[in-house]
Structure 1
């Protein structure tokens, strides 16, 4: 049985911005889907402890006022998300994350910020990630156009009515992962452990290619050094005193 026909766990965050080192969680979803068991979405709304920029609120629909009024303390939310993912890993389930280094790195930094044991410290090297963005680029590298979750849903004939809603995005990522496996035999025919490892290689190759593109693009050369090849998350760098 291929990994895509069993139960998968989707994970998505909506946040205050796109800086994984500094921005905060606003909403989160961890949802199990498939395997002849009903979906069990777990969702969180956090008070991030900082103002939510208007640009971010426009994307996901959560204002600073709503987060403060209805959100749970950030540390409580971070701990809940980490434990939900750790439970999935403990059950041997792969976690589907669109652009995994963003969500997993930001979650890692939030855990450290709030004194929560990071996911990697709990599960070690047992985490197995399915990243539709990395896989799609690897199997169909010459397709033109963007590769956001909305774009991938459109390309594979899937509906995504409420993009940037954590639950909808987590479920959509699972659907895209399954669609990829259905279309591309090399994905569905690869064992989960091997697929996780090969995605690390693909992500590094893709980062190298993107950095080279920036280097030869006038006006964007300065962006190339900031491109990271780490996958599925950027390791935490301890700062010297």
Structure 2
């Protein structure tokens, strides 16, 4: 099976959470498998106390209940350890671009730890699968690895399956370049400004990616309707989204005052 060619380590990770809203929901389990340039694999797996009740419908999926995490550390108590573990790593996962990375960024920000993944490469194995076959992770594992997944929706089982699927994809598709920057380009999709993808870059300019101003430059909206910024800051948007619109507004004001 193909071994991923690496210029630096890449950390594949999977989150189990209280729900699917990256702005509101919290992590209950995180599993990371760090692939080193020498072929070594290092794992980091933790149950996390989300400091909120786990909805029954979420527990039914991943099998983690309130009693399972009542004595586990809150994310803020493992955040520095995790940040160090991920230091200088590219990031990978299954649907990680649109879910796991935004959720992880929110948890870091809640813990008071600034995050900046702009220099990282992202490899979303789901995007390769969707572009080639379009199935779920369990089906991807069966399709590419000819095995049935055990303990699906356990974070560790999911992340190990993700790595196996990627290695099998590299074997199967001759047009896939075995290189993290190339896989980043293949799986990345839109260039985003915030991890929740409320804003994306269009010709290098941040534009809104939702609502009535979709496709309109953020600065143009803030010039014409300054209260839109206030509405976003007071609404239930992700912390990273609010951080990025504040940076855009501050740059506008600095230019205006020069």
TM value normalised by structure 1? 0.71
Summarize deviations over 1:146-177 as a string: whole Å, max 9, x none: x2211111121234211111111111100011
Q: Could you tell me whether the CA contact under 8 Å between 2:34 and 2:43 is conserved in 1?
A: yes
Summarize deviations over 1:211-234 as a string: whole Å, max 9, x none: xxxxxxxxxxxxx96xx9xxxxx9
Relative to 1, partners in 2 of residues 1:82 and 1:159: Cα closer, same or farther, differing over 3 Å? farther
Partner of 1:215: none
The answer to whether 1:195 aligns with 2:188 is no
Partner of 1:4: 4
Partner of 2:200: none
Relative to 1, partners in 2 of residues 1:21 and 1:115: Cα closer, same or farther, differing over 3 Å? same
Relative to 1, partners in 2 of residues 1:38 and 1:190: Cα closer, same or farther, differing over 3 Å? closer
Q: Of residues 232, 238, 242 in structure 2, which corresponds to 1:238? A: 242
Give the deviation of 1:139 after TM superposition: 3.1
The answer to whether 1:102 aligns with 2:95 is no
Q: Of residues 25, 28, 32 in structure 1, which corresponds to 2:27? A: 25
Summarize deviations over 1:104-159 as a string: whole Å, max 9, x none: 000111111121222x2xxx43312221111122234xx6xxx2211111121234
Q: Of residues 120, 136, 139 in structure 1, which corresponds to 2:129? A: 136
Q: Which is higher, the Rg of structure 1 or of structure 2?
A: 2
Q: Of residues 158, 173, 177 in structure 1, which corresponds to 2:162? A: 173
Relative to 1, partners in 2 of residues 1:134 and 1:164: Cα closer, same or farther, differing over 3 Å? same
Partner of 2:119: 126
Partner of 1:208: none
Partner of 1:58: 60
For 1:158 and 1:9, the matched residues in 2 are separated by: 23
Gaps of 5+ in 1: 205-223, 229-233
Higher alpha-carbon deviation: 5-14 or 157-166: 5-14
Partner of 1:216: none
Give the deviation of 1:38 after TM superposition: 4.7
SS in 2 for 1:41: strand
For 1:174 and 1:181, the matched residues in 2 are separated by: 11
Partner of 1:153: 141
Q: Could you tell me whether the CA contact under 8 Å between 1:30 and 1:84 is conserved in 2?
A: no
For 1:15 and 1:136, the matched residues in 2 are separated by: 23
| Higher-helix-fraction structure | 1
The aligned length equals 199
Give the deviation of 1:8 after TM superposition: 4.9
Give the deviation of 1:59 after TM superposition: 1.7
RMSD value, Cα = 3.1
Relative to 1, partners in 2 of residues 1:176 and 1:203: Cα closer, same or farther, differing over 3 Å? farther
Partner of 2:205: none
